[in-house]
């Protein structure tokens, strides 16, 4: 098994399998996949992913993003599709509730998600907990921020060491340089603030490290955070089992 899944039309589909847990176990492969937008993937790859065990796709993008760039699994048989936006609004105003002075702007984004989107996070993880067999794929646009938050929480449930969680997050930078260039070219053509936008397309270790620090400082652990936001114990248990049992 390999962590990165080369898929024609996508850049950043990766498996959460193979990471080691604090108890010495290993997360099984093909249980949870993180991904960028799937709207451009080759039709044969859609069938391939299903044949390799994909059974649920959770698209974390807004309804507007999904309308503009539809997810092909929305109409694919034998794969349950759900559009569950982590954020309903990606405007700067929607991100202002957790501003951290002098911090990377992505740190603000991640803390905003933790503190203002608890209901959405709980619903997303509960939906994942319902899947008993096969793989769950969750995606956003670049497979970096919204996807990165959910991936970090899943790895935290399994008690994966923080260094591995951070490494999983920063790995995105290895796979999306072409996608970043495309986004920046589009912003430039529209007269946008390319320099500021470029910072939002980074995958800086300090941003996710500070997010994990925030969780530990305020809730004790990822599990403590998820209990605080009301994730049912049965869902937490099922996710832990899916992440740790062969």
pLDDT digits (tens, 9 = 90+) for 88-123: 876 544 454 555 667 888 998 899 899 999 999 999
pLDDT at 223: 98
Weakest-pLDDT range from 72-86, 97-111, 167-181, 214-228: 97-111
Instruction: Give the CA distances from residue 135 to residues 33, 42, 208, in Å, rounded to whole numbers and listed in that order.
Output: 7, 19, 25
Cβ-contact 201, 183 below 8 angstroms: yes
CATH class of 14-244: alpha beta
pLDDT at 67: 96
DSSP class per residue in 138-194: EE-SSSSSHHHHHHHHHHHHTTB-HHHHHHHHHTHHHH-HHHHHHHHHHHHHTT--H
Running DSSP on this structure, what letter comes out for residue 198?
Answer: H
Q: What is the pTM of this model?
A: 0.95
- Which tokens in the block code for residue 63? 């309804």
- Which tokens in the block code for residue 52? 């390799």
pLDDT digits (tens, 9 = 90+) for 114-159: 999 999 999 999 999 999 999 999 999 999 999 999 999 999 999 9
* Domain boundary assignment for the chain: 14-244
Helix axes 162-170, 205-219, angle to 10 degrees: 140
For residues 25-50, average pLDDT? 96
């Amino acid at each position: 098994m390999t962590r990165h899944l080369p898929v024609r039309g996508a850049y950043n589909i990766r498996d959460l399998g193979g990471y080691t847990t604090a108890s010495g176990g290993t997360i099984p492969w093909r249980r949870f996949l993180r991904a960028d937008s799937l709207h451009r993937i080759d039709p044969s790859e859609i069938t391939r992913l299903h044949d390799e065990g994909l059974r649920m796709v959770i698209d974390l993008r807004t309804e507007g993003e999904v309308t503009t760039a539809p997810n092909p699994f929305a109409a694919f048989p034998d794969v349950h599709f759900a559009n569950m936006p982590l954020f309903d609004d990606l405007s700067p105003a929607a991100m202002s509730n957790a501003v951290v002075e002098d911090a990377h702007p992505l740190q603000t984004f991640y803390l905003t998600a933790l503190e203002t989107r608890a209901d959405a996070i709980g619903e997303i993880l509960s939906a994942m907990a319902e899947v008993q067999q096969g793989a769950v794929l969750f995606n956003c646009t670049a497979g970096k921020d919204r996807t990165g938050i959910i991936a970090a929480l899943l790895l935290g449930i399994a008690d994966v060491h923080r260094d591995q969680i951070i490494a999983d997050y920063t790995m995105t930078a290895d796979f999306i340089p072409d996608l970043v260039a495309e986004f920046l070219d589009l912003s430039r053509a529209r007269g946008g603030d390319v320099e500021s936008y470029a910072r939002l397309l980074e995958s800086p270790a300090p941003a996710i490290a500070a997010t994990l620090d925030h969780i530990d400082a305020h809730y004790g652990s990822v599990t403590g955070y998820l209990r605080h936001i009301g994730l049912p114990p049965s869902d937490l248990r099922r996710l832990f089992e899916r992440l740790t049992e062969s």
